[in-house]
C-alpha cells in the first residue's frame, strides 16, 4: 500500500500568498541578522563604492547587472558561512579540528567570491569591459 502525500495538507503549512509573504518575512529576518555581521556591512559598503565608481566610469548596463549578480552571490555565500559558523558553534563549542575545518572552508568560499567580485570590478574600471 502506497501513501499519496500530494493530496494531504500538513497542519499549519501555509500555501499561496500566505506562503510567499512568510518566506519574504524569513528572508527579511535573515537580512536583518546579516546586518549584525561586520563583514556583511563592509561588503555592502564596498558594493556601493563599486557602483559609484561604475557610474563615474560610464560602465555599460551589462557590467552593472553582472556585478550585481556577483554581489548577490557573495551575500548569499556570506549568509551561508554565517549559518555554518552558528551551527558549528552550537554543535562543537569546544575548540576542535572539525569546527576549525568547517569555518575555514566557509571562509575560503567567501574569499573566492570576494576575489571574483574584485577581479570583475577591476576589469570594468581598468579595461572598460
- Residue numbers in the known binding site for ATP are 26, 37, 85, 103-104
Distance in angstroms between the alpha carbons of the first and the last residue of the chain: 61
Cα separation of 36 and 56, whole Å?
30
Contact 104, 94 (CB under 8 A): no
- Binding site: what residues are annotated? 26, 37, 39-43, 78, 85, 103-104, 107
- Binding site for a divalent metal cation: what residues are annotated? 37, 85
Contact 43, 74 (CB under 8 A): yes
- Binding site for substrate: what residues are annotated? 39-43, 78, 107
Active site residue 97: no
**C-alpha cell, 65:** 547587472
**Active-site residue, from 60, 78, 94, 97:** 78
Q: Which residues are catalytic?
A: 78
Amino acid at each position: 500500500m502506497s501513501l499519496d502525500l500530494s493530496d494531504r495538507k500538513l497542519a499549519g503549512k501555509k500555501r499561496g500568498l500566505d506562503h510567499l509573504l512568510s518566506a519574504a518575512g524569513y528572508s527579511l529576518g535573515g537580512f536583518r541578522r546579516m546586518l549584525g555581521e561586520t563583514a556583511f556591512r563592509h561588503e555592502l559598503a564596498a558594493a556601493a563604492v563599486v557602483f559609484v565608481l561604475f557610474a563615474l566610469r560610464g560602465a555599460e548596463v551589462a557590467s552593472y547587472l553582472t556585478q550585481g549578480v556577483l554581489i548577490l552571490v557573495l551575500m548569499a555565500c556570506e549568509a551561508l558561512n554565517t549559518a555554518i559558523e552558528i551551527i558549528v558553534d552550537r554543535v562543537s563549542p569546544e575548540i576542535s579540528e572539525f569546527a576549525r575545518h568547517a569555518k575555514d572552508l566557509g571562509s575560503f568560499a567567501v574569499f573566492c567570491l570576494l576575489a571574483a567580485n574584485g577581479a570583475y570590478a577591476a576589469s570594468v574600471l581598468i579595461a572598460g569591459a
